[in-house]
Structure 1
């Protein structure tokens, strides 16, 4: 199955091509992407198409650091609703773990793994595109974004112990040195960032009462966007926050940078309220999670934000007319998950 990524992954692509004297249109269409899609950052496209686009663009522009140059045009808000939540995490570790846990919300092909040994931590980055492809440009784009996020979390002058790439160095590494600092290394065993574990436990300097420009303008601009509404954005945040146990309307409002009354006002304008949206998200998720085999039913209840498996079972029965276990038996096409199913 093809992994997907959002158009937001290539924010600034057309502008970069233009600055390098290249028409982006044939390059986009050559990999099956439409130029108009660049104006729809939340639309999903095959990640393999983006990887091919970046490689072809690097060749067409004779710019071997094309992916890194694209990083300069990315914004924190390019992560979508995830950016609103990680901004509020109290320390770097919790922000990073949230980013890793919900990486499928912005790029299904990206895989990040945190490995810690004594006082050193390594964030390993891999790309799973579903088929073989050159990923130099995509890897450098992903690493540039990750490095930028860590620098935002820690503060502008922060530097890692090392930034590693599996591919060999280009002839000119000046952009890499400018982006990552002097500790960039090539032809390494893995692609990733090495840092002190103390960096992970440091406070997230982005967290606090101040509201970033993206969050401040978020709801006010939703009505002008064809594919995003207050309801859809609140739904996205609810889905993100449910497993954390912090899925209150106050937390959603805080993530959006507004007060709860503003959230209620926007939802009411769409004929909704917070309770009905929360329940609708749970219904949609439960239908698929219960029928699938990835999680036990106890784990599903936790992912949906229920305080106990029994509460989840009662809610599920009222919504679907049968218990979660009966639903799984009826609609499952795969083997039983495990002992946790028997609890609900």
Structure 2
């Protein structure tokens, strides 16, 4: 099953209510309960999420509902991904960094860059489907991409050339779109940028990293007001995937002294070491399952000096070496 973070549709209930429909009824029609979207950092079925968006677009008579929802969302709906971008020097590097960490936000979707001389296509590929299609999920994802690229370039999110690999949705009386360039029935789903733009400095780099961390932590505190453990998990996961994680940096991000952070975690019955082990194991197993990088690269990404140290740790966690575990999972 492909999963996505529930906060990727922040603002859904408010927008649907504004459009004169019942968001709770729509959620229940696909098997969701509202509690899954009320500030809880949960994974939900990506296919059901796509079906919800399709049903909502039909019920609200909004053929561009996905774009409309993205237009009303804060950057925090992308979770820790903007934090990764803040640590990349160029716009192209920022996009590549986020592409490699997209699995933290959703599985079953991939982003790649295709350069064709003066232009580069930033392309989405989806592994999921629903009987109603996934046009609205594509539109929501494209809206997220426009928001993100606007953040790192300083350009308007409405000016990007958007291509949708789906037929044009039905047309009825609906809210007009602020997006100026949308083309349907295209051979790919994505946006087209100037190749030269990708070589320019990321607008967030380097001073914005602290503000990105602060903004992400403020969002986490809203999501988990009483769970320091979950706040630590989210911050540590983001920093680890970005290649720069330490107890000191995690503590500083949460405005705590490292010792105080450890004491507070102990009061909640968990340790920082335990949290980091579980995070590393989860990330390692995901990459090994998807065969997305070599064991050596994976070891370095997880903060280990070399592959042998990582392999030893992984065997302690699972009883198998990375290669053995990968082989075993491949047979199931």
Q: Shorter-chain TM-score: which interval?
A: 0.7 to 0.9
State the match for 1:310 in structure 2.
Answer: 308
Kept in 1: contact 2:265–2:272 (CA 8 A):
no
State the match for 2:33 in structure 1.
Answer: 34
Which of 317, 321, 324 does residue 324 from structure 1 map onto?
321
What does 1:196-215 align with in structure 2 at a 5 Å threshold?
Answer: 196-207=194-205, 208-209=207-208, 211=211, 214-215=215-216
Unaligned 5+ segments in structure 1 are 336-344
1:11 & 1:40 partners in 2: Cα distance? 9
1:232 & 1:248 partners in 2: Cα distance? 16
State the match for 1:59 in structure 2.
Answer: 58
What do the CA deviations read for 1:36-94 (whole angstroms, capped 9, x no partner)? 22203421111111111111111112222222221122111112233333334333222
Kept in 2: contact 1:290–1:328 (CA 8 A):
no
Give the Å deviation of 1:150. 0.5
2:306 & 2:319 partners in 1: Cα distance? 18
1:330 & 1:155 partners in 2: Cα distance? 42
What do the CA deviations read for 1:206-249 (whole angstroms, capped 9, x no partner)? 34156256346356556625xxx333333344344446542234
State the match for 2:105 in structure 1.
Answer: 106
1:158 & 1:18 partners in 2: Cα distance? 25
Greater relative contact order (CA < 8 Å, ≥ 6 in sequence): 2
1:73 & 1:18 partners in 2: Cα distance? 13
Structure 1's 218 and 268: CA in aligned 2 closer, same or farther, altered over 3 A?
A: farther
State the match for 2:191 in structure 1.
Answer: 193
TM-score (norm 2): 0.81
Kept in 2: contact 1:264–1:273 (CA 8 A):
no
State the match for 1:76 in structure 2.
Answer: 75
What do the CA deviations read for 1:235-293 (whole angstroms, capped 9, x no partner)? 34434444654223455467x4x56x44553343112665554345335555x479858
Kept in 1: contact 2:40–2:223 (CA 8 A):
no
What does 1:222-237 align with in structure 2 at a 5 Å threshold?
Answer: 224-225=225-226, 229-237=227-235
State the match for 1:167 in structure 2.
Answer: 166
Structure 1's 102 and 186: CA in aligned 2 closer, same or farther, altered over 3 A?
A: same
